Amino acid sequence: MDIISQLQELVNTIAALAFNTFGTLQRDAPPVRLSPNYPEPPAANPTEDAANVAEQPKLMSAALVKAAKQFDALVAALPSSEGGEEAQLKRIAELQAENDAVGQELQRQLEAADAELKQVQELFNQAADNCLNLKKPE
Amino acid sequence: MAATATYPPPPPYYKLYKDYIQNPNSAPEPPPPIEGTYVLFGANYTTDDVLPSLEEQGVRQLYPTGPNIDFKNELRSLNRDLQLHILELADVLVERPSQYARRVEDISLIFKNLHHLLNSLRPHQGRATLIHLLESQIQRRKQAVEDIKRRREEAQKLLKEALGTLDGH
């Protein structure tokens, strides 16, 4: 896939990682204590281990940072745009002129080669005729 | 009885082409290509495919405009801005959760700018591809010219040799 498409895919991936991160954290965060007057919130269910809740932000943020680093690497790999639009258009015009010239040269060579091929075929025909004429049938 | 509707009939223009075999000029010309905007199935399409600038879409542009934009640096700085905004959003959610909307808007603005910048790289990529194609075509043609020259010279040499052997025979 070309590099600009990769960059676009990566931007979308970063967006997906970001909202997955926030969504997961919001969904899985344990309830917070509102004020010292209210008692502690009831104990969380055993499915939410403290380790799980503490690991997830680390993993997800690591993924986010990795994606951002990939983005920087890809941006560095972009071919530097030498000149601008006008320089490119000028180069295209030059290349077209050169292409036409080389095309005409090719055409000339082809025609000369075709003529020579015809000559050789003519000679071959004559030689074959002579051979046939020399060999009389029995 | 079939409950489905039949297809609409073909357009009646075929009657105009009755004598096409005898006289190709008696039938009408095909319609000219459309220019400007046209309506297709109730939607408006335009023939001029250009990337609309961000202002036209009502989105603020975060990177500077100008004839030559330094794409790499702008992309890098936008990336850093994005990361900072994500961190800000995390902070806001911890401390002042009701003010998330502004931060989320900022993040989506940065994303729109990123995508617009990437899209504006596409014409440049197209021209660069064209240049590459032309260069490789010139290369191939030069190679072909060289090949043909070489083969012709070889053929001439062979003919001379053959002539020499015949004369010496």
Tokens 């297709």 sit at which residue? B40
The helix (run of H) or strand (run of E) holding residue A83 is: none
> Which residues 10-49 of chain A have a CB within 8 Å of chain B?
11, 14-15, 18, 22, 26
CB contact under 8 A, B141 and A106: yes
Contacts of A4 in chain B (CB under 8 A): 118, 121-122, 125
Residue A102: alpha-carbon gap to chain centroid: 31
Q: What is the pLDDT of residue A43?
A: 61
Mean pLDDT of all residues in A130-138: 76
Quickly state the pLDDT bin for B68 (edges 50, 70, 90): low
Q: For residue B90, list chain A residues with Cβ-Cβ distance below 8 A.
A: 22
Determine contact, residues B26/B19, Cβ cutoff 8 Å. Answer: yes
Q: Which of A106, A87, A70, A88 is nearest to B130 (CA)?
A: A88
Question: Is residue A45 over pLDDT 70?
Answer: no
Q: What is the 3-state secondary structure (H, E, C) of A102-124?
A: HHHHHHHHHHHHHHHHHHHHHHH
> Which whole number is the average pLDDT over B150-156?
92
CB pair distance less than 8 Å for A99 and B138? yes
Residue A29 pLDDT greater than 80, yes or no: no
CA distance B73 to B76: 5
Backbone dihedral region for residue A83 (phi beyond 0: left; psi -120 to 50: alpha; all else: beta): left
Whether pTM exceeds 0.90: no
Nearest CA in chain B to A101: B138
What pLDDT, on a 0 to 100 scale, did the predictor assign at position A103?
93
Least confidently predicted of A3-17, A116-130, B38-52, B140-154? B38-52
pLDDT value at position B159? 87
Nearest to A116 among B115, B137, B155 (CB): B155
Question: A134 and chain B: CB distance < 8 Å anywhere?
Answer: no
Report chain A's mean pLDDT, rounded to a whole number: 84
The answer to whether A93 and B85 have CB atoms below 8 angstroms apart is no
Please provide residue A41's backbone torsions phi and psi, each rounded to the nearest 5 degrees.
-65, 155
**Shortest CA distance to A8 belongs to which of B106, B139, B98, B122?**
B122
Say how many Å lie between the first and final Cα of chain B, rounded.
Answer: 92
Provide the residue ranges of all domains of chain B, joining segments of one domain with +. Answer: 69-124
Q: Where does the pLDDT of residue B143 fall: very low under 50, low under 70, confident under 90, or very high at 90 and above? A: very high
Token pair recorded at residue A12: 């979308």
| 3-class secondary structure, B103 | helix
Side chain identity at B83, as an amino acid letter? Q
Position B11 pLDDT exceeds 80: yes
**What integer best gives the mean pLDDT of chain B?**
85
Contacts of B128 in chain A (CB under 8 A): 79, 88
